[in-house]
Structure 1
């Protein structure tokens, strides 16, 4: 059998827009192809989301305003017609809780209004901008409630507290720093938004364009120039190992990889909550695998040090190779030696290392030395701002401190869920940072996640989030946690987020208690950790016709969407993979008709799509009966551009199996699809692979579990197929080609 390669020769000047990498296929991309491809991506994105009209953010992200590749910015937004609601409860910030809740006499409290609307079984209409004092809680008694903006208006729900600063000059001779007192009720200022845009917490090195603009691999200190304190392996005591040896649970489709469910409880994984991870198990395996650990501190001679209050600093540290970043608060600071001993933190990624990679420091007054930065002195309750204009900050500027981490919490149980709640046409903003909150490790991917988001779903059925905007949130946008059935997020836009856009993440019984399920009795842990048949996971989650951009501003191990059905979306500008499937739990997902580009802008590995499947689980998704084998996932009719890493368009990493990747347009990248370290049963067919290093990289598989590569057009690929030297012999016998 033979693979046929079609080579497309295009003349022209070589492309110069954000193509990152030294590989020959990147350097030899003709500008004529690259420009027309970007114009096609623009047309495709507008077709997917006609409501966006000219779609300016997409236009500029594709660099179509440049002189050497110019397209016309045009298009009219499709109007969304919303029918009037004759009977409803009205709520507005200028209302009063003694009113009746009519349009002329609205209520003021969002919680009171939601309770009343649910009791009356009528919609709740929002007007104006709400600065929440407490999270809006919706339970089973709110089932069927519709929450929406008043037709023709756009209500905003903010998790921030609005300040009324009285700026006074602090240092306006060599800089332009101003200071104001902050009310005692504001205990911390980890984030600050001025006129709806983030300021940057005082840091070193500086970010010339501010926190909302990616520096790529810049704006960091080279981790190799610091001295890292080794991990403290005895800090939390010994780990307890568990490997599932039930014969019926043995996954026999891989070759010496990922056949058994295995975890470790306690030990260094005590930084997680619950304190459990595959990466603390007795024999973790995979690419670069070893037991979890993080450095205990760092010594570095900061140019503006020593710091007066170095113990208040926070250090953001990339894991070497930039697979994730850790954040550490400081437990002890030695001014004489410049040594920082880490305290809380190090739980933001699942994979560890003995040393840190590139890093920066923030929250020290001495680093308030660049326009756009701020510093809050919690002892004096004073806020300092290096104003990036001339003179004093405008007195009428909106100054908001994000305070609440969760704005709307929909929580029930699978036995008594929250049913049929709809949230429409509402903007959510200024949720507080969550990256220092408890994190857990889902299955055996590289990720650690926090169960916090602006809109949080757990124990729900048929919830709809429609036409909403998620902007300037310091954590995740939407978390679909635990038991959820048929949640839909559609026609919504996510931008400038600290974490992920949408996450779907379930539970199994790995520990006797779980803080994510308070009051629920868990049984047979840790043996029951392999068992995903009890329903405590999302099923039927759909993300459709959404846009997402500028995400992962704080937590770099983040994606636009994690583990859900993803259809007809446009997303770009993120630090890691665009879409992540963290494991093969159940499977059956569909990723179709999406435009994804400019991913992995700040990290190594991956591209537009990434998956792992290191940890087998027992589910009923494949056949309706308990099985360790997941249902096929399909990746089809997507437009993926791997212009930043560039490694793979579709990265089926460690153990990934049962994927059908077909009818996609895959542009750039080291490989169109890579399948390694125990992966198998990945079928790559009927794709167009344009200017990739090679079409497919595969590994050794067991008989009957081959990878397939056929029917694809490889346009000017350097290679068609190879076997990765890291996981199999240098041959192509493992792949079946037609």
Structure 2
């Protein structure tokens, strides 16, 4: 007998397996089409044969060796505990595709304006069409533009009544739009048209912080009248007709046509008590999975996310399973979803690109969370909260790994996505991944449950390309101890500081990464993110932000062309920021308490240090070795060394395999510049200090969707309105306020009437009455 030792959190499990597992194994050779001698036709049939073998030899390892070709499935390929100890791999080359699509044979005839049509009867809906294995464009307005920043083209009039009146049968069309504050996106299905040519819709549940659609960044698709450009298509299900406008030189008579069918290509499903063990996929391409944006509706605690719990490969209830050297491309939803109970899952050496949703997700079950809450504004009285330490059960990923993966151009449909997403998980290793060209974060941690992650040696850039108020690395920490109302949060954090580590039970290590975000922060620890060790990272552009939270130790990082952004810390936060190289003065917002140590950092020469810390700070040129080549180690004699800074390697970020390194892009390196103190525009209004919203930090701190309004810096005693620092004034009486100038003008004409004012506070609108 042979014993395998699995280490779970606080538990050691011994699995005793027959010695035959390690002395015997069998290979089944599989064909994608009709069988030939020595081969089984189809993967499902091969799995059935393996089950028959295991009836006489229980637990015997079986390898399915796939011959080159494309494997189309009659249903999602399901592996259960009976399929444990199965390897599915190529037969020596990588020309194997397991498809979530359905090949169709159609006869095209010219319709009009270069558009062809064909009869097609299928008993399922589909959102993706592939011609000669290239994804085509569902008929849309505005037309697809590869250079457009948002959704490859948006227009404010996409659903205007004037445009709607040009459509004969828009039911079944879709509206895609950014969130009003650019925190992800929304998707709606058109269900009808009103008499005034406005649309009836269903959907909009794809974001967990409802604010409605963005006014500008929206488009429509799946409308026949919008089929007017090469590569566009439309399927009229009621008349079983497929329309398509081919590009020049495409021979439709010989073109291969595939439509998407299955949202999950493969599902490996067991339970915590009876997991699927030791299933491996190696060297396979997974493509053509159906889009899932209308099924993305499960909220992830109090983060901004909803998710679809599935992907091209879904792993749930597994132990020791792996996905190695596989490619995931042009799938409509997530690539890999590691759901609920999983132990020792390994996803490595994969190329994940051009997908509709996330790259890799590790997401546990809310039933493992004590006193879970699901929407940002929800809270629970402390007396009704389960205050016990750690998870409630084991229904979450633990001790899993995503390493050496190239992930790019994900989130092509859904915008609240990430290259790698962690939620309700523990001890996840995210290492040596290269992630770029994504609409939101490259790596996202949705909340503190339950920490212990090791996030290191990643190369993450070209992030937050279509959204806002986010980072290349982003996290939230809206755990049991956190309240959306800041006054209540301060009170509870002071009364029960031990609660912070009841969910974030182990520190998360963020180290030896290279991050770049040109539309947010390189590292963004938002809303209560706690228990982090952040060291030896290079931030190429966006700086580092710590909002709220406790127990963050940030040391030995390099922040180029930016600085440190501390936002609204608590008393006794025990935060530390030391031995770092920054490129300008700190950018604090709402700071009254400064943690345990903010000191021993290197600033540019001539920096005015305005914060009440850094008594031992130094100023001067850090003397980088070769900044133009991306080597930010410092030379002997650098003043950074006198602060305690230590050099760390600059040549090991991102993927390590030669094949993926040859494909991976490199981040744009910054031209270094000395940052000056941001010029303020603060003015006095009846003794209060107010200013325009000028920076991303001010907008983020207030939670505003844009820069409109007037930011309140400070308020004197006996002020006529019960304003607080951090409020944003949006209206006086019935007149809008967009900036300081309009506020002063409006108030000058309305002051005798003592008007009420409308403000934005704690992520919501409030009305304040005149009190003096």
Aligned 8 A contact 2:504 2:530 in 1: no
Does 1:370 pair with 2:229?
yes
The residue number in structure 1 matching 2:505 is 630
Q: CA 1:451/1:733 → structure 2, altered by over 3 Å: closer, same or farther?
A: closer
Q: 1:401 to 1:118 in 2, by over 3 A?
A: same
Residue 478 of structure 1, CA deviation: 0.7
- Of residues 264, 270, 276, the one that matches 1:418 is 276
2:387–2:502: 8 Å Cα contact kept in structure 1?
no
Q: How does 1:380-395 map to 2 (within 5 A)?
A: 380-390=239-249, 393-395=251-253
Equivalent of 1:113 in 46, 59, 73: 46
Q: Does 1:699 align with 2:568?
A: yes
Are the equivalent residues in 1 in contact too, given 2:391–2:503 (CA < 8 A)? no
Where does structure 1 lack aligned partners over 5 or more consecutive residues? 1-84, 227-298, 515-525
Q: Match of 1:220?
A: 154
1:367 and 1:197 mapped to 2: Cα distance? 21
Partner of 2:119: 181
- Once the two structures are superposed, residues 704-736 of structure 1 have per-residue CA deviations (whole angstroms, 9 ceiling, x without a partner) of x2322111122xx232x23214xx44x857763
Q: Mark the structure with the bigger radius of gyration.
A: 2
Superposed displacement of residue 657, structure 1:
0.9
C-alpha separation between the residues in 2 aligned to 1:192 and 1:218?
18
1:353 Cα shift? 1.1
CA separation of 1:372 and 1:538: change in aligned 2, threshold 3 A: same
Contact 1:573 1:598 in 2 (8 A): yes
Bigger shift: residues 434-443 or 570-579: 434-443
Q: In the alignment, what sits opposite 2:135?
A: 198
Higher RCO (C-alpha under 8 Å, 6+ residues apart)? 1
Q: Could you say which residue in structure 2 is the equivalent of 1:407?
A: 265
Matches within 5 A, 1:259-658: 300-303=160-163, 305-334=165-194, 336-343=195-202, 345-354=203-212, 356-357=214-215, 358-390=217-249, 393-437=251-295, 439-509=297-367, 532-563=391-422, 564-616=428-480, 627-643=502-518, 645=519, 647-658=520-531
Q: 1:686 to 1:569 in 2, by over 3 A?
A: same
Contact conserved, 1:597 with 1:641, CA < 8 A, in 2? yes
1:664: how far off?
A: 1.0
Q: Does 1:712 align with 2:580?
A: yes
Other structure's SS at 1:95 match = coil
For residues 617 and 695 of structure 1, do their structure 2 counterparts lie closer, same or farther at Cα, with a shift above 3 Å needed? closer
CA deviation after TM superposition for structure 1 residue 362, in Å? 1.1
Cα distance, 1:630 vs structure 2: 2.5
Hey, what's the Cα distance between the residues in 2 that align with 1:321 and 1:604? 7
Aligned residue for 2:295, secondary structure, equals coil
Contact 2:84 2:277 in 1 (8 A): yes
Matched-pair contact (CA < 8 Å) for 1:510–1:528: no
On the 8 A contact 2:180/2:212 being kept in 1, the answer is no
Q: What is the SS of the residue equivalent to 1:311?
A: coil
Give secondary structure in 1 for the equivalent of 2:502: coil
Distance (whole Å) between structure 2 residues aligned to residue 113 and residue 371 of structure 1: 41
In the alignment, is the contact (CA less than 8 A) between 1:532 and 1:617 conserved in 2? Answer: no
How many equivalent residue pairs? Answer: 534
Output the TM-score relative to the length of structure 2.
0.66
Describe the SS at the equivalent of 2:98: strand
Tell me the CA shift for residue 403 of structure 1: 0.3
Structure 1 position 723 matched with structure 2 position 581? no
Task: Give CA-to-partner distance per residue, 1:369-407, whole Å, 9 cap, x none.
Answer: 1222111111111111121224x6432222110101111
Q: Indicate which of 661, 664, 667 corresponds to 2:537.
A: 664
Q: Equivalents in 2 of 1:674, 1:135: separation in Å?
A: 43
Structure 1 residues 629 and 377: alpha-carbon distance in aligned structure 2, compared to 1, 3 A threshold: closer
In structure 2, relative to structure 1, the CA distance for the partners of 1:355 and 1:594 (3 Å cut) is closer
Provide the rounded CA distance (Å) in 1 between the counterparts of 2:213 and 2:51. 53
For the residues of structure 1 that align with 2:248 and 2:306, how far apart are their CA atoms? 39
1:51-200 equivalences in 2 (<5 Å): 87-96=26-35, 104-120=37-53, 121=60, 122-127=62-67, 128-171=69-112, 175-182=113-120, 184-200=121-137
- 1:214–1:106 Cα change, 3 Å: farther
Q: Find the aligned partners of 2:275 and 2:70 in 1 and give their Cα distance.
A: 29
Q: Residue 368 of structure 2 contacts residue 396 of structure 2 at CA under 8 Å; is this kept in 1? A: no
Q: Distance in 2 between matches of 1:163 and 1:545?
A: 36
Q: Aligned equivalents of 1:617 and 1:732: distance in 2?
A: 21
Cα separation, partners in 2 of 1:192 and 1:355, compared to 1, 3 Å: closer
Q: Secondary structure at the match of 1:112?
A: helix
For residue 395 of structure 1, give the secondary structure of its aligned residue in structure 2. Answer: helix
TM-score (norm 1): 0.69
2-structure distance, mates of 1:393, 1:735:
68
CA distance in 2, matches of 1:637, 1:341: 50
> Following the alignment from structure 2 to structure 1, what is the Cα–Cα distance between the partners of residues 241 and 597?
64
Please tell me whether residue 682 in structure 1 is matched to residue 623 in structure 2: no
CA drift at 1:218: 6.2
Q: Secondary structure at the match of 2:44?
A: helix
In structure 1, how many angstroms separate the alpha carbons of the residues matched to 2:353 and 2:213?
Answer: 32
Relative to 1, partners in 2 of residues 1:494 and 1:438: Cα closer, same or farther, differing over 3 Å?
Answer: closer
Cα 1:355–1:491 change in 2 (3 A) is closer
Deviation at 1:187, TM superposition (A): 3.2
Q: CA, structure 1 residues 381+665, in 2 after alignment: closer, same or farther (shift >3 Å)? A: same
Cα deviation, 1:162-203, whole Å, max 9, x if unaligned, reads 1222221111xxx42111111x22532311111222111111
1:737 is aligned to 2:599:
yes
Residues 378 and 460 from structure 1, CA distance in 2 versus in 1: closer, same or farther, beyond 3 angstroms? Answer: same
For residues 220-239 of structure 1, the aligned pairs below 5 Å read: 220-222=154-156
SS in 2 for 1:661: strand
CA RMSD of superposed structures (Å) = 2.7
- The offset of 1:633, in angstroms, is 0.6
**Cα separation, 2, equivalents of 1:169 and 1:734:** 73
> Conserved in 2, the CA contact under 8 Å of 1:722 and 1:732?
no
SS at match of 1:723: coil
2:45 partner SS? helix
Gapped regions of structure 2 (runs ≥ 5): 1-23, 54-59, 373-383, 423-427, 483-497, 601-772
Output one character per residue of 1:646-705: Cα deviation in whole Å (capped at 9) or x when no partner: x21100011101111111111011xx21111x323222211111112x2332332232x2
1:265 match: none
Taking structure 1 as reference, are residues 437 and 733 closer, same or farther at Cα in structure 2, changes over 3 Å only?
closer
Distance 2:475 2:360 in 1: 16
